[in-house]
Chain A
């Protein structure tokens, strides 16, 4: 699933680079809707207030221990979109 997301994101990025913006009419185009992202998954494990992208990406960049792979490792403010949810999973051991 993670890889699929990533592949889609890459495809979307290529589209952005390849095509001029199609926003003249001010309503979303099909392409824009396809490229846009919706509700970000909440974090189902414990996360420290001090954690940054460095900690998150330890697992979510590569899919270590079955963690979902982020389609956007370049974004560094993870908690701007992903907020704490119900704790269902254990995070990988976090070494600082």
Chain B
């Protein structure tokens, strides 16, 4: 399980040696040399701990501690550049209040305990609950920050051991709509394109993505491209003017939720003016529609299944008829001329067009539709699959793709795009896992929101939370925070620092993080990246993988994890799921030698562009392009007729503003790591509410005044920021969610997209008053 540092840290930083030797005499240091290097710093590599970009980082270690992190010049993702969070990674693990011992709640206090005591208690609680209330009374809630191994172990323990599908990642709050979009349009999760498109394209539509702050390194790639190629145009669409908008060529503001209508209007113009690629459509596309007026999931146990039906191009044309630029301009506030211009840009044969999006689309009660609709535009114009022109769904966590999506740590999923509802899929999984197929339940587990509702109702009694902070990040937080402390619930939280979630736990387990353990992450562009353990975790902190296997052992499921060389053997087992499916992963050792590889990896060769002849080994000679994963539509992709529908809650007289939430550059997610880095904390110490100056003036609010923001679910007092870094359009306010002292998610509505079950964090109605 552990590789020695000596074996894998080879090179050294030796400024003096560099200067003395001169640039021409550089040579690779031998392992023995590394240890004796000038300054005593040894260096390893790892993907960054934070977002889904997957930047390469060089990690400098001295005396068992990380002393420096640098951008890896050999990493194709970031080519040596990091964002400020990546540069300060060396400090992230060394906050003063790092958890180093298991803690058990005794009344209102936490008391230090041994691992033996903590694991005995946890195992007893799991066992008691399973024996008394059945396997569906326990659950594991993990994250897109789980390493592949951690997610795989948790999924295998629950699905093949305990016999429940009660596993969800926080990625349900983040990427579920992207997954549902990929599955319904292409029959397989994850993008066809890659980051090379950022260098090769010339037209970039950003839909609800503040890339300059949330994906800074990728935005820099775009800006580099723009610097070299005067043809490059960046069009930023959103409800808030951001740093991204500032550096874009065009900022198009629209009223919340009308992105659905805008995309249909763009398609309307393309179809009306016959700007579409007829040959592409006839070869590669089918048309479908699904259910409409599908609800918002506000009721407990809300059920929804889409019913797709095939339609013709003519019927799709009819469907688009009402979405005239004039009608949609009235709805969205975007000028008619701009809508037509954007449609023409998308369709311009001389332009290599890309669409990029993140949470603007996904944190959306019609998120799957938004994803479908942007693919529609690319499928109509045939701008998909070819290098330099693709739609690209950006991810927000380091292994939302690699772990949550590829391993399938969801209530309904199994590895490699398989689902528990399908008997053949269960059969295949059971075979690899060495258990009878009957062991894996066919009934999907509850999605994240429903899982916490089940905790509230008392159906789930024991929950283990790993690598995430749900009692800050869930919507309608008040309900779920109270649920955690209800009588008869038992909550375990594994983390590296005390958080607003650990404060609600019954047992807190101290975890190892990032390079304190060996791991694999998978990024946005299907790149699988491996790293070795470089330092020991502090005190008694231990790897989450060890923690899960230890629970398995104590529950009598130890035989599911018979590995000696744990990571290597587990990887080779996991890899069997993907082999031959078009999602092929390489043998474990292959990843030691590279800065990641984009799957499918067949015979050691990665695939930058999926579905494309010459790049994707699954596309046969002469096929050109084939969406071969969508077998039920004979290898064609789907254009979906998806209408505009309003969100669950819109502003009214009592609550007249839209509230949107999101990230800032300096902090990541709920700020538990970045908040402990002095430089980052100082740069952005606390949350503010951004409000348009005209709205502020009407309310008598001046810059930095304290204001009360309230929704039907909660209320919060924050300083107002006018003309700050971000400026919401009139009628909107924005609050970042990193600040654990200001739980903005108490205000958010727990409505969700009925298809993907991803909650709506970007829209609810609030009022704003001077405090």
Contact = CB atoms under 8 A, between A and B. Distances in A.
Interface of A: 11, 14-16, 21-40, 42, 49-50, 52, 74-77, 79-86
A30 B43 CA distance: 9
B28 A38 contact: no
Contacts of B683: 42, 83-85
B10 A74 contact: no
B73 interface: yes
Contacts of A16: 73
A85 B58 CA distance: 24
Given A29-B74, A30-B27, A38-B87, 9 more contacts: A30-B14, A35-B73, A36-B58, A36-B70, A36-B72, A37-B82, A50-B246, A79-B243, A80-B216
A37 B68 CA distance: 10
A50 B242 CA distance: 10
A28 B43 contact: yes
Contacts of A27: 8-11, 43-45
A84 to B, nearest CB: 5
10 contacts: A28-B10, A28-B44, A30-B27, A33-B12, A33-B70, A37-B70, A39-B87, A39-B90, A42-B683, A74-B227
Contacts of B23: 11, 14-15
B28 A30 contact: yes
A87 to B, nearest CB: 11
Contacts of A31: 26
B74 A75 contact: no
Contacts of A33: 11-13, 43, 58, 60, 70
A36 B43 CA distance: 12
Interface secondary structure of B, over-half rule: mixed
Contacts, number: 147
Interface residues of B, number: 61
A34 B13 contact: yes
A81 B10 contact: no
B74 A21 contact: yes
A49 B245 CA distance: 13
Interface in B574-604: 591-595
Contacts of B540: none
A27 B680 CA distance: 29
Contacts of B12: 30, 33
A39 B212 CA distance: 19
B595 A40 contact: no
A34 B216 CA distance: 23
B11 A23 contact: no
A25 B10 contact: yes
B18 interface: yes
Interface centre among A15, A29, A37, A81 (most CB of B within 10 A): A81
B80 A26 contact: no
B247 interface: yes
Nearest to B29: A30
B246 A38 contact: no
A31 B72 CA distance: 11
Contact of A80 (B58, B83, B723): B83
A86 B681 CA distance: 11
A36 B219 contact: no
B74 A30 contact: no
A23 B594 contact: yes
B71 A36 contact: yes
A21 B76 CA distance: 11
Nearest to B589: A26
A32 B29 contact: no
A74 B220 CA distance: 11
Interface string B12-35: 111101100001001111000000
Interface in B83-107: 83-84, 87-88, 90
